[in-house]
Amino acid sequence: MATVRRLTSSAIRSRKHARFAVVTAYDAPFARCAEEAGIDVLLVGDSMGNVVLGYESTTPVELGDMCRAAGAVARGTSKAHIIVDLPFGSYQASDEDAVRSSIALVKAGASSVKLEGGESAAPRIAAIVRAGIPVCAHIGVLPQTAAIGAGFKRKSDTARLLADGRAVEAAGAFAVVLEMVDPAAAVELTQALSIPTIGIGAGGGCDAQVLVMHDMLGLFAHAPPFAKRYAEIASIATEAFRTYAREVREGTFPSRTTASEDRAASNADAPVYAISSASTKPTA
C-alpha cells in the first residue's frame, strides 16, 4: 500500500502565478489515472449529480453522495489534494450545518471543502476555517442555485466579482474557483487577489484551470462549449461493448483455445473467489 502524503492547502495557496491543472474525480480508478498523469489537485465536484448520477442539475446531490465519492477518490490516490464540494442544503442554513457537513467530508477523505457564494458565504467560510478545515471558495456562476435563481449567464460585473473575491479571501479561503466569469474580469480578479484563482469557462488569465472529467474525456453528451475534449472515451467504451456482445453471440468469446482455459472450463464448479481465512473457507 502506498504511503499517503497529500499536497496541502497552504502549498496550493503558495502556487499563486504558477499555472496548474485541476480535474474533477468521483471514483477510484479515474482519480488514480489523474494522479498518475501528474494532476495533484482533484475536485470531487457535485457536478457528479449531472455527469455520473444522471440528474438535470447539482441541486439534488446529498452529503452522503459526496462522502461516498470522496472516500473512493481518497482510496484511489495517495498524493493528490482532494477538494470536495459541500452539496446544496448542507451548509446554507447555519454555520453549525456548514461545520458539521465539512467534518463529515473530511472523515470521508476530503483534504478541504468547497462551497458556492461570495460575500454572502463569507461567514460560512470563516466558520469552517475556524474549525480547522481548509476552504476553497467558488464565485461567478453558482450551479447549485442557478437553475432556481440567477441562471447560467456569464458574470461580468467586475465590481461585484471583486467584492466577492475579496470577501472570500478575507474569510480565509485558500483558493477561489471562478466559474463562467468574463475573461477580462477574471484577469482583474487574478491580479487583485493573493490566493490562486481556478478558472472554468473564465478564459486563460486565471492562475489555474479546472475541467469536469466527463466533459474532457468525451463521456458526457452535454458538455459546455468551453470544455475542451481531450479524448472520446464514450466511443471507445461503446465499441468495446459492441465487440464483446458480438463475440459472445458468435461464440468466439470465451475462445477455450488454450490449455489453461480448458482447465478453467473443466473446473467450472470450483469457487472462483475464495476468502483466504481458514475459518471462512468456502464450502461450495
Which spans of this chain sit near ligand KIV (rule: CB under 6 A)? 24, 43, 45-47, 85, 138, 177, 179, 200, 210, 212
Closer residue to ligand KIV (CB): 85 or 169? 85
Alpha carbon 253 to chain centroid distance? 36
Closer residue to ligand KIV (CB): 5 or 222? 222
Shortest distance, CB of residue 200 to ligand KIV, whole angstroms?
A: 5
DSSP string, 162-184: HHHHHHHHHHT-SEEEEESB-HH
Taking the C-alpha atoms of residue 203 and residue 183, their distance in angstroms, rounded to an integer, is: 5
C-alpha cell recorded at residue 74: 481518497
Q: Is 119 a known active-site residue? A: no
Closer residue to ligand KIV (CB): 149 or 276? 149
Position with the least CB separation from ligand KIV: 45
Closer residue to ligand KIV (CB): 23 or 126? 23
Nearest to residue 128, comparing CAs of 155, 153, 110? 110
Shortest distance, CB of residue 14 to ligand KIV, whole angstroms?
A: 21
**8-state DSSP, 40:** -
Shortest distance, CB of residue 54 to ligand KIV, whole angstroms?
A: 15
Shortest distance, CB of residue 145 to ligand KIV, whole angstroms?
A: 13
| Phi, psi (deg, nearest 5) at residue 200 | -145, 115
Q: How many CB atoms lie within 10 A of CB 216?
A: 18
Closer residue to ligand KIV (CB): 229 or 264? 229
User: 96, 179, 247, 250: which is the annotated catalytic residue?
Assistant: 179
Taking the C-alpha atoms of residue 145 and residue 232, their distance in angstroms, rounded to an integer, is: 30
| Cα 282–Cα 283–Cα 284 angle in degrees, nearest 5 | 95
Shortest distance, CB of residue 263 to ligand KIV, whole angstroms?
A: 48
3-state DSSP: the chain helix, strand, coil percent, rounded to 5?
Answer: 40, 15, 45
Q: Which residues are catalytic?
A: 179
